[in-house]
Amino acid sequence: EVQLEESGGGVVEPGRSLRLSCATSGFTFREYAISWFRQAPGKGLEWVGLIRSETYGGTAEYAASVRGRFSISRDDFRSLAYLQMNSLRTEDTAEYYCSRGQTVTGAKYYSDHWGQGTLVTVSS
Protein backbone atom coordinates (compact mmCIF):
# COMPACT_ATOMS: atom_id res chain seq x y z
CA GLU A 1 0.00 0.00 0.00
CA VAL A 2 1.31 3.41 -1.00
CA GLN A 3 1.65 5.68 2.02
CA LEU A 4 2.94 9.21 2.58
CA GLU A 5 3.14 10.93 5.95
CA GLU A 6 4.11 14.51 6.62
CA SER A 7 5.75 15.70 9.82
CA GLY A 8 7.53 18.74 11.19
CA GLY A 9 4.69 21.23 11.34
CA GLY A 10 4.19 23.58 14.24
CA VAL A 11 4.06 27.19 15.34
CA VAL A 12 6.88 29.45 14.16
CA GLU A 13 7.49 33.19 14.26
CA PRO A 14 7.57 35.26 11.08
CA GLY A 15 10.99 35.32 9.49
CA ARG A 16 12.02 31.99 10.98
CA SER A 17 12.56 28.64 9.25
CA LEU A 18 10.94 25.23 9.39
CA ARG A 19 11.60 21.95 7.63
CA LEU A 20 8.82 19.51 6.81
CA SER A 21 9.44 15.85 6.09
CA CYS A 22 7.48 13.44 3.92
CA ALA A 23 8.04 9.80 4.82
CA THR A 24 6.94 7.29 2.21
CA SER A 25 6.47 3.56 1.85
CA GLY A 26 4.85 1.02 -0.43
CA PHE A 27 6.50 2.11 -3.67
CA THR A 28 9.93 2.58 -5.23
CA PHE A 29 10.54 6.12 -4.04
CA ARG A 30 13.43 6.92 -6.39
CA GLU A 31 11.21 6.38 -9.43
CA TYR A 32 8.70 9.09 -8.55
CA ALA A 33 8.47 12.84 -8.22
CA ILE A 34 7.15 14.36 -5.02
CA SER A 35 4.90 17.41 -4.93
CA TRP A 36 4.01 19.67 -2.05
CA PHE A 37 0.68 21.45 -1.77
CA ARG A 38 -0.87 23.60 0.93
CA GLN A 39 -4.30 24.76 2.03
CA ALA A 40 -4.60 27.93 4.06
CA PRO A 41 -7.51 28.13 6.53
CA GLY A 42 -10.75 28.59 4.62
CA LYS A 43 -8.96 28.63 1.27
CA GLY A 44 -8.44 26.23 -1.62
CA LEU A 45 -5.58 23.93 -2.45
CA GLU A 46 -2.40 25.56 -3.72
CA TRP A 47 0.54 23.85 -5.40
CA VAL A 48 3.84 24.74 -3.68
CA GLY A 49 6.45 22.83 -5.62
CA LEU A 50 7.74 19.54 -7.02
CA ILE A 51 10.99 17.63 -7.16
CA ARG A 52 11.55 15.27 -10.06
CA SER A 53 13.05 11.83 -9.75
CA GLU A 54 16.73 11.43 -10.55
CA THR A 55 15.68 9.82 -13.82
CA TYR A 56 14.46 13.25 -14.87
CA GLY A 57 17.28 15.21 -13.31
CA GLY A 58 16.13 15.49 -9.71
CA THR A 59 15.39 19.17 -10.25
CA ALA A 60 12.65 21.19 -8.58
CA GLU A 61 9.96 23.64 -9.62
CA TYR A 62 8.25 26.17 -7.36
CA ALA A 63 5.23 28.40 -7.21
CA ALA A 64 6.05 32.08 -7.50
CA SER A 65 4.72 32.71 -3.98
CA VAL A 66 7.48 30.57 -2.42
CA ARG A 67 10.32 30.69 -4.96
CA GLY A 68 13.54 31.83 -3.33
CA ARG A 69 12.23 31.08 0.19
CA PHE A 70 11.27 27.40 0.00
CA SER A 71 13.31 24.50 -1.33
CA ILE A 72 12.51 20.84 -1.87
CA SER A 73 14.99 18.01 -1.54
CA ARG A 74 14.89 14.24 -1.46
CA ASP A 75 16.75 11.31 0.09
CA ASP A 76 16.24 8.32 -2.16
CA PHE A 77 18.03 5.98 0.25
CA ARG A 78 15.61 6.78 3.07
CA SER A 79 12.53 7.33 0.86
CA LEU A 80 12.08 10.81 2.29
CA ALA A 81 11.32 14.20 0.83
CA TYR A 82 11.74 17.55 2.52
CA LEU A 83 10.29 21.03 2.25
CA GLN A 84 12.66 23.61 3.69
CA MET A 85 10.78 26.82 4.43
CA ASN A 86 12.77 29.97 5.14
CA SER A 87 11.73 33.57 5.78
CA LEU A 88 8.27 32.41 6.75
CA ARG A 89 5.37 34.84 6.52
CA THR A 90 2.00 34.84 8.19
CA GLU A 91 0.43 34.05 4.82
CA ASP A 92 2.35 30.75 4.76
CA THR A 93 0.06 29.48 7.52
CA ALA A 94 -1.57 26.37 6.07
CA GLU A 95 -1.94 22.62 6.13
CA TYR A 96 0.90 21.22 4.03
CA TYR A 97 0.51 18.03 2.01
CA CYS A 98 3.05 15.92 0.16
CA SER A 99 1.96 13.77 -2.75
CA ARG A 100 3.41 11.27 -5.18
CA GLY A 101 3.86 12.71 -8.64
CA GLN A 102 2.72 10.46 -11.45
CA THR A 103 3.97 11.06 -14.97
CA VAL A 104 4.25 9.37 -18.32
CA THR A 105 6.34 12.07 -19.99
CA GLY A 106 8.71 13.25 -17.29
CA ALA A 107 7.40 16.75 -17.87
CA LYS A 108 3.80 16.61 -16.70
CA TYR A 109 2.79 15.46 -13.25
CA TYR A 110 -0.42 14.84 -11.38
CA SER A 111 -0.69 13.56 -7.80
CA ASP A 112 -2.07 10.06 -7.30
CA HIS A 113 -1.41 9.52 -3.59
CA TRP A 114 -1.38 12.07 -0.79
CA GLY A 115 -0.42 12.35 2.85
CA GLN A 116 -2.78 13.51 5.61
CA GLY A 117 -1.02 16.84 6.03
CA THR A 118 0.85 18.75 8.72
CA LEU A 119 -0.18 22.16 10.03
CA VAL A 120 2.19 25.11 9.90
CA THR A 121 1.21 28.24 11.79
CA VAL A 122 3.30 31.38 11.32
CA SER A 123 2.54 33.81 14.11
CA SER A 124 4.28 36.08 16.56
Partner 1 sequence: DIQMTQSPSSLSAFVGDRVTITCRASQSISSWLAWYQKKPGKAPRLLIYWASSLESGVPSRFSGTGSGTEFTLNIDNLQPDDSATYYCQHYTTFPITLGQGTRLEI
Q: 49 Cβ partners below 8 Å, 6+ apart?
A: 35, 36, 60, 61, 62, 63, 66, 70, 72, 83
Using the rule CB under 8 A, which residue among 70, 97, 120, 122 binds partner 1? 97
Using the rule CB under 8 A, which residue among 12, 18, 115, 122 binds partner 1? 115
Task: Pick the closer one to partner 1 by CB: 3 or 84.
Answer: 3
Task: Pick the closer one to partner 1 by CB: 27 or 114.
Answer: 114
Q: Angle 35-16-70 (CA atoms, 0-180°, nearest 5)?
A: 25
113 binds partner 1, rule: CB under 8 A = yes
116 binds partner 1, rule: CB under 8 A = yes
Of residues 39-68, those binding partner 1 (CB under 8 A): 39, 44-47, 50, 61-64
Q: 37 Cβ partners below 8 Å, 6+ apart?
A: 45, 46, 47, 48, 96, 97, 98, 99, 111
Going from the C-alpha of 4 to that of each of 10, 36, 114, the distances in angstroms are: 19, 11, 6
Residues that bind partner 1 (CB under 8 A): 35, 37, 39, 44-47, 50, 61-64, 97, 99, 102, 108-117
